Amino acid sequence: MSAATYRRPVVIIGAGLTGLVTAVSMQRAGLTPLIFEKKPHLPHAKTGVALWGNGMRVLDRLGVGTKLRTCGLATLSSEIVNSTDGRVLFNFNFSEESSGHVNEIIVAELNELKQLLLEELPSESVLFNKELDSFTQHGDYVDVHLADGSSAEGAILIGADGLYSRVRSRLKLQMSHRYAGYSTWRGVTNMTNLSKEFPLQLGREIWGKGRRFGAMHIRTGTLYWYAVANARNGEVFLRPFKKTLLNKFGDWDFRCREIIDATDERNITRHDVQERLQPVPWVENRVVLMGEAAHPITENMHLSTCLAVEDGHCLAQMLAEYGVRDPLGLEMYERTRKPRCLAVAQRSRRIERIAQLEHPLARWLPERVLGRRRLATALRRILRIIPDYTAGDLPGPILRS
Ligand X SMILES: Cc1cc2nc3c(=O)[nH]c(=O)nc-3n(C[C@H](O)[C@H](O)[C@H](O)COP(=O)(O)OP(=O)(O)OC[C@H]3O[C@@H](n4cnc5c(N)ncnc54)[C@H](O)[C@@H]3O)c2cc1C
For ligand X, the binding residue among 36, 141, 207, 333 (CB under 6 A) is 36
Determine, following the binding rule CB under 6 A, whether residue 166 of this chain makes contact with ligand X: yes
Which residue, 132 or 391, is less far from ligand X as judged by CB? Answer: 132
For ligand X, the binding residue among 38, 69, 177, 243 (CB under 6 A) is 38
Q: How far apart are CA 102 and CA 104, in angstroms?
A: 7
**Minimum distance from CB of 84 to ligand X (Å)?**
27
Determine, following the binding rule CB under 6 A, whether residue 107 of this chain makes contact with ligand X: no
Using the rule CB under 6 A, give the single segment among 9-17, 324-332, 350-358, 379-387 that binds ligand X.
9-17
Residue 78: which H helix or E strand, with range? strand 77-82
Determine, following the binding rule CB under 6 A, whether residue 177 of this chain makes contact with ligand X: no
**Minimum distance from CB of 205 to ligand X (Å)?**
15
Q: How far apart are CA 344 and CA 306, in angstroms?
A: 10
Which residue, 38 or 384, is less far from ligand X as judged by CB? Answer: 38
Q: What is the DSSP letter of 341?
A: H
Q: Which residue is nearest to ligand X (CB)?
A: 16
Using the rule CB under 6 A, give the single segment among 120-128, 157-165, 255-263, 326-334 that binds ligand X.
157-165
Contacts of 224 (CB under 8 A, 6+ apart): 47, 48, 50, 107, 109, 186, 187, 188, 215, 216, 217, 218
Q: Which of residues 127-156 bind ligand X (CB under 6 A)?
A: 131-132
Determine, following the binding rule CB under 6 A, whether residue 75 of this chain makes contact with ligand X: no
Q: Which of residues 238-277 bind ligand X (CB under 6 A)?
A: 269, 271
**Minimum distance from CB of 166 to ligand X (Å)?**
4
Determine, following the binding rule CB under 6 A, whether residue 186 of this chain makes contact with ligand X: yes
Q: How far apart are CA 122 and CA 115, in angstroms?
A: 13
Rg (CA), the chain: 21
Determine, following the binding rule CB under 6 A, whether residue 347 of this chain makes contact with ligand X: no
**Minimum distance from CB of 282 to ligand X (Å)?**
12
Class of residue 327 by CB neighbours under 10 A (exposed 0-12, middle 13-18, buried 19+) = exposed
- Which residue, 351, 336, 313, is CA-closest to 54? 313
Q: Mark 233-255 as b/e (b = at least 16 C-beta within 10 Å).
A: eeeeeeeebbebbeebbeebebb
Which residue, 117 or 365, is less far from ligand X as judged by CB? Answer: 117
222: helix, strand or coil: strand
**Minimum distance from CB of 229 to ligand X (Å)?**
15
Contacts of 400 (CB under 8 A, 6+ apart): 322, 323, 325, 326
| DSSP state letters, 278-292 | S---SEETTEEE-GG
Binding site for ligand X (CB under 6 A): 13-19, 36-39, 47-49, 110, 131-132, 160-162, 166, 186, 269, 271, 291-293, 302, 304-305, 308
